[in-house]
Structure 1
Amino acid sequence: MTERETVATAPGKPAETAAIDRRLVPPMVLGSVLNPINSTIIAVALVPIGAALGASPAQTAWLVSALYLATALGQPVVGRLIDLFGPRRLFLASTSLVGVAGVVGTLAPDLGTLIAARVVLGFGTCAGYPAAMALLRAEARRTGQGSPAGVLTLLAVANQTVAVIGPLLGGLLTGLGGWRSTFALNIPLSLLAVTLGALRLPKQLPKQLPEDLSKDLSKDLPKQEKQERSSDAPGPLHRIDLPGMALFAALLLSLLLFLMHPHADRWYLPPLTLAAAVAFTVRERRAAHPFIDVKVLGGNTPLLATYARALAAYVVAYAFLYGFAQWTEEGFGLSPLQAGLVQAPTFLVGIGVSVLAGRRGGIRAMLLTGAVGQIAACLLMLALGGHSPLWELLVLAVVFGIPQGANGLALQNSVFLQSDPARTGSSAGLLRTFAYLGSMVAAAATAAAYGPHAGTAGMHQLAWIMLAAAVLFLLLTVFDRTLRGLRTPPASAR
């Protein structure tokens, strides 16, 4: 009998002493970091890839955009399927695609094939994070923990740790085996994820709460979730909103394609985005089982504000990750490995900030700390130049670590507390979608600022764009009154 079964069935055992099933933690953590590790590992490989394949920074930016385009489309869709079918099957299918993408990328003969591999990789990493959040929701209910703060903090710290390893590992692999080795790494990662998922993820999430908890919590369940738990509710297949998913894909694809290259010759994309948005809203308001319940989402202003903050925060974060990394190589003259080492303090500090913030539990304080840290870092970027001493770059990396650790944890915990429990997977997927929208804006800003060469003048232009996004993030936080009472129990209390 597993720890999970022992806790759930032990006669007379108080529900509040139940513990999260530790067997679920390794696949949850590994699945959730597959996307971040592929985000960070390629940051220092873009210049070598461009040199090997004869591509400019604007062209290699597609390697970044392709991953996030696919994932931004796929995360909410896969998240909704996880809500309906459970995490196991979606997790196994998606993580298998990660291995396929690794093989294609390792053998890619040209930039087009490499971009295709990144698209497959994006879809392959879609299930990890929504699956982890859905599993945590189920475990929180089973154990009586409204918010498993310890595991939520662990997920954030794991992402920070991977972000530390990513640039360093990318530089090391590029130096030892060439940039292709950064794609080959996905093959063993995929095998490990599929193995852990097959061995440890439950075939079905429990449909019933423990008897002593169900009476207390059933009154708090949303109406739609009560209907979906009832015996006469339609099966999962009948609740798949394919038209809604298709319209959402058209909306997001047209928007992202314009954000990646906002030029006059693409004038038709914004009207197409608007038309798809109107059609999507009409469809979802009328659907019996909508893909995204716009009625509930539209009435959940705190969650919408969280998504807006995520968009602004990740414009800054990804512009620094990719744009600043390119400048350190081309504008400052560092090697890929050295560029990775310069960024390491950002993520090391981020780990420490996440751990400290997780122990305190205050979400508004985390967001304000992140906002101030972003603004300070952008101002420091504006003071850098090609002849700046190396220690100034390291100071900048340290300062950027503060928002790196505070914002990610605060946004993740906000979504867990603010979202409809019946749609935890799709809500978590939407958080990543807004983060990827931010990455697309960052990629477009980076390409526009640099052009054919990542010089100091372009880096300063990028810093001004980042500063505007950081100020917007601060305003969205300061004027959101709902954050005052929002907090997770301190992780140490668990």
Structure 2
Amino acid sequence: MAVRSARAARAGTATGLSRRLITPMVLGVVLNPINSSIIAVALVPIGVAFGAPASQTAWLVSALYLATAVGQPVAGRLVDVVGPKPLYLTGAVMVGVAGVVGATASTLGVLVAARVLLGLGTCAGYPAAMYLIRHDSGDTTPSGPLTVLAVSGQVVAAVGPTLGGVLIDTGGWQATFLVNVPLALACLVVGTRLPGGARRRRVRLDTPGMALFAVALTALLLFMMSPGRWYLALVAALVGAGFAVRELRVSDPFVDLRVLGGNWPLLATFWRTLLTFTVSYSFLFGYTQWLEHGRGLAPTVAGLVLLPMFLVAIVVSAITGRHPTVRGKLVVGGATLVAGCASLLVVHAGTPVAALAVISAVVGVPQGLNSLGNQNALYHQAQPARVAASAGLLRTFSYLGAMLAAAAGGAAFGHGADTDGLHELAWLMLGCAVLLLVASVTDRSLRRVGTQSAPGDRSPGGGQRREQ
């Protein structure tokens, strides 16, 4: 595995990506997945410490993804305009502060606030990495760097639950927040290697557009968490309409709806990403809580049961990442995900631990294929001048899926993470997996993704892109 990662790194250098950028790129990207995965095994201990049910501790998941879903495209647009360094360093400081605040929290509300700050602090990492790959790799297809990007996040996600279990056993749930302090310090050190600014014409930021986007998305996500508050849906619709009107009128919008609306392959990638992460995070958080509550496993053992999923995902990404085409990845990933979700319908409180680990391994195959396939598709489908903003939007759809997963998990486990709740959640996951498979099989544009010599020069539909 390490050998494959090293080969991928050398491949990235061969395509023009400077070797000195690999470390800050990877460190920035892993901040979010480590906080996403490590909290999975901490939800139950935190709930016990604060006397909070699963429906309340679900906000620890939702808070981070709410902040990141709103902040990712904003950070991405800023990276496109001013370059990655300022956003990267600012985010590192926020992550370090959030780690201290979370570890010293005396109430669940403060803990949720720390997760919000963590979400905002991790916003710049992925857009900055996509920016660096696009602007330092020339006109070649950078399969190596893109694979490094996917594998690094999966490696950390693999370590997260196991590391979380160890930290909880040794230092309590507080240690899962304190781990961010050394990570933030490392980012501050290596972040000095990043370019100081974007080498492009000056662009006026569409601040009102960013604000309208943030308000509309926040209202939508809060409505998803509390469907009874119907007025939030109305606010999201009204503010979203205002956002659309503004973006169609300004010369340099935050989100170019004219180009985005005509780029159906990119919109399809966003849709697949939403489905992928709805299932992925439903499994990560729902399965983990059931392992601890419904199956009665200790946090450390639950983390070990999840480990095969991440290890398989890493191996699959490393093996398939050298091939730039994506359609086969997404079709096989969708089919395997259907099988993995269906297997959850037959587990029960007496299912052997070995069988539970096998289910994790099966789900690891689509974990490795779908994320890599959608990421590589976006690289070819997005405008080069807006690749960081598009990468941020990709992450917004992934976090929207995470929010849907958190809401579904809260509903399914409203009276505890028991087997009936897991089966209820599994039916939702199975439906999303089937939709994902259909979307991958029927998208003809995927046949051309990864076969072009100069990514971003033309849209997958064959039309010339509009540069800005």
Structure 2 match to 1:452: 415
Matches of 2:377 and 2:209, distance apart in 1:
26
Counterpart amino acid of residue 244 in structure 1: G
Structure 1 match to 2:134: 137
Matched, 1:192 2:155: no
Structure 2 match to 1:166: 160
Contact 1:40 1:167 (8 Å CA) reproduced: yes
TM-superposed deviation, 1:166: 0.2
Q: Secondary structure at the match of 2:445?
A: helix
Matches of 1:202 and 1:482, distance apart in 2:
34
Structure 2 match to 1:257: 222
TM-score by length of structure 2 reads 0.92
Matches of 2:232 and 2:50, distance apart in 1:
30
Structure with greater Cα Rg? 1
Structure 2 match to 1:8: none
Matches of 1:19 and 1:456, distance apart in 2:
51
- Mapping of 1:13-412 within 5 angstroms? 19-141=16-138, 144-145=139-140, 147-198=141-192, 200-207=193-200, 229=201, 235-236=202-203, 239-263=204-228, 266-412=229-375
- Corresponding residue pairs, total: 441
Q: Secondary structure at the match of 2:40?
A: coil
Contact 2:28 2:122 (8 Å CA) reproduced: yes
Counterpart amino acid of residue 387 in structure 2: T
Matches of 2:107 and 2:125, distance apart in 1:
29
Contact 1:37 1:162 (8 Å CA) reproduced: yes
Counterpart amino acid of residue 431 in structure 2: A
**Identity percentage of aligned residues:** 54
TM-score by length of structure 1 reads 0.88
TM-superposed deviation, 1:396: 0.3
Contact 1:76 1:433 (8 Å CA) reproduced: yes
TM-superposed deviation, 1:361: 2.5
Counterpart amino acid of residue 235 in structure 2: L
Contact 2:143 2:323 (8 Å CA) reproduced: no
Contact 2:209 2:254 (8 Å CA) reproduced: yes
Counterpart amino acid of residue 121 in structure 2: G
Counterpart amino acid of residue 82 in structure 1: V
Counterpart amino acid of residue 240 in structure 1: L
**Gap runs ≥5 in structure 1:** 1-15, 208-228, 230-234
Matches of 1:385 and 1:32, distance apart in 2:
36
Q: Deviations over 1:207-229 (max 9, x none)?
A: 5xxxxxxxxxxxxxxxxxxxxx4
Contact 1:413 1:488 (8 Å CA) reproduced: no
TM-superposed deviation, 1:276: 1.6
TM-superposed deviation, 1:204: 2.8
